[in-house]
């Protein structure tokens, strides 16, 4: 029996469905009681820390060990202090449980140190990009063709709640008020840069130009010879590798329409595959934080997303995708009809990245001569 890519996709989808069914069974049919306490405050938290592991995950979106690590880090490195009436565990627990709902002195105290934590969490682990990412280095599909790729950039839309006089500028192609968020991603499903709060009508290219040119935002720019992969909504320029225009792009298009043909389609097939780290990152993010209501809560969620990725010994949302590196969570893809920019620039940087794209495409043709 020959096992091809289509069989692999079916297997991953089936595995994903089985995981959902098992999770549903354990959560709703054969389950240990999770919400069985009438206590509040410290007694309630102590009961959670001694009780069912799933209860802690359901309430705080992380396991007990990661929650304790977070409390210790905020105390030791970011100067969060207990008070006469509240322990640090109570403050952090209240912040996580009531994030976006409760306004209090303790809530804002934890929010302040969370913003300090973001400086260390929302950035590349290797700020010099001197090493090839393991996800690329250990994958024959990408090596050596994309050895200098350091991550991916894209935007996403989230619900926005704005004053009525500002409503129109936040209603874009989604048909509802949204904020446009630009983010950079590493291949291990972490955010390395996030810029939130722009109106939903703002084009991705506008956010991109603002982010890379505004020095105080500290966007992690690629060093010479390195680059991010971006989609067709971004201008092809040095350090930012976009796909060819006028060719089917997203992976589902290839899955529905057969194997890629020709130099451009083969390049775009693997360019799109590299950018799947975006959908996979947001797959974990949206699964964990189901209610994304405000700009502040989304920023905190980004911080905690990276913190859990780095600190948790075992985390089901991440583990599920780690076990299936080719799988993309459903209903995560952005609109396929992205507005495109013209490749009219003749600057040397654009010419260099165009030449790099052509060279990678040619090498992929040689490496995949069965296409």
How far, in Å, CA of 78 to CA of 188, rounded?
26
pLDDT per residue over 43-68, tens digit each? Answer: 888 889 998 888 898 888 899 999 99
pLDDT per residue over 136-187, tens digit each? Answer: 999 988 999 999 999 999 988 877 777 777 778 878 776 788 888 899 999 9
Most confident of 29-33, 224-228, 346-350: 224-228
Q: How confident is the model at residue 38 (pLDDT cuts 50, 70, 90)?
A: very low
Closest CA to 130 of 153, 151, 150: 150
Residue 277 zone, left/alpha/beta (φ > 0; ψ -120 to 50; rest): alpha
Residue 175 zone, left/alpha/beta (φ > 0; ψ -120 to 50; rest): left
Closest CA to 19 of 263, 246, 320, 326: 320
What pLDDT shows up at residue 225? 94
Strands 191-199 and 227-229: unpaired
Q: Is residue 4's pLDDT more than 60?
A: no
What pLDDT shows up at residue 288? 79
- Residue 312 phi/psi, 5-degree rounding, is -70, 130
Q: Residue 287, CB half-sphere, CA atoms under 13 Å: how many?
A: 21
Long-range residue pairs from 248-253, CB within 8 A, at least 24 positions apart, any chain: 249/336, 250/333, 250/336, 251/276, 251/328, 252/333, 253/336
Q: How confident is the model at residue 35 (pLDDT cuts 50, 70, 90)?
A: very low
Q: How confident is the model at residue 245 (pLDDT cuts 50, 70, 90)?
A: confident
Q: Is residue 334's pLDDT more than 50?
A: no
How far, in Å, CA of 105 to CA of 118, rounded?
20
Contact 356, 241 (CB under 8 A): yes
Contact 157, 175 (CB under 8 A): no
Is residue 152 helix, strand or coil? Answer: strand
- Token pair, residue 126, equals 């290797």
């Amino acid at each position: 029996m020959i096992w091809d890519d289509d069989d692999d996709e079916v297997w991953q989808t089936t595995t994903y469905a089985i995981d959902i069914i098992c999770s549903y069974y354990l959560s709703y049919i054969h389950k240990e009681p999770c919400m069985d306490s009438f206590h509040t405050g410290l007694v309630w938290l102590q009961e959670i820390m001694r009780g069912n592991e799933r209860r802690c995950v359901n309430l705080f979106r992380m396991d007990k060990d990661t929650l304790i690590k977070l409390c210790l880090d905020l105390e030791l490195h970011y100067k969060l202090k207990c008070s006469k009436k509240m322990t640090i565990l109570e403050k952090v627990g209240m912040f996580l449980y009531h994030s976006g709902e409760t306004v209090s002195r303790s809530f804002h105290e934890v929010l302040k140190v969370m913003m300090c934590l973001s400086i260390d969490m929302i950035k590349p682990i290797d700020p010099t990009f001197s090493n090839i990412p393991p996800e690329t280095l250990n994958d024959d599909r990408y090596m050596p063709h994309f050895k200098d790729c350091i991550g991916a950039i894209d935007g996403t839309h989230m619900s926005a709640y704005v004053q009525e006089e500002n409503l129109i500028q936040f209603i874009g192609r989604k048909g509802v008020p949204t904020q446009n968020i630009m983010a950079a991603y590493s291949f291990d499903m972490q955010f390395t840069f996030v810029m939130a709060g722009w109106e939903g009508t703002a084009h991705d290219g506008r956010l991109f130009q603002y982010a890379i040119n505004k020095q105080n935002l500290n966007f992690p720019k690629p060093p010479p010879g390195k680059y991010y992969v971006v989609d067709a909504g971004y201008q092809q320029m040095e350090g930012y590798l976009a796909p060819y225009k006028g060719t089917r792009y997203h992976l589902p298009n290839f899955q529905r329409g057969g194997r890629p043909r020709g130099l451009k389609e083969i390049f775009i097939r693997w360019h799109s595959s590299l950018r799947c780290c975006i959908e996979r990152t947001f797959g974990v993010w949206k699964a964990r934080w189901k209610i994304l209501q405000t700009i502040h809560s989304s920023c905190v969620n980004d911080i905690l997303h990276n913190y859990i990725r780095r600190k948790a010994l075992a985390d089901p949302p991440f583990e599920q995708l780690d076990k299936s590196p080719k799988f993309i969570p459903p209903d995560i893809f952005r609109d396929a009809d992205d507005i495109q920019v013209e490749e009219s620039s003749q600057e040397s940087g654009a010419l260099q990245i165009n030449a790099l794209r052509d060279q990678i495409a040619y090498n992929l043709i040689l490496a995949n001569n069965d296409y």
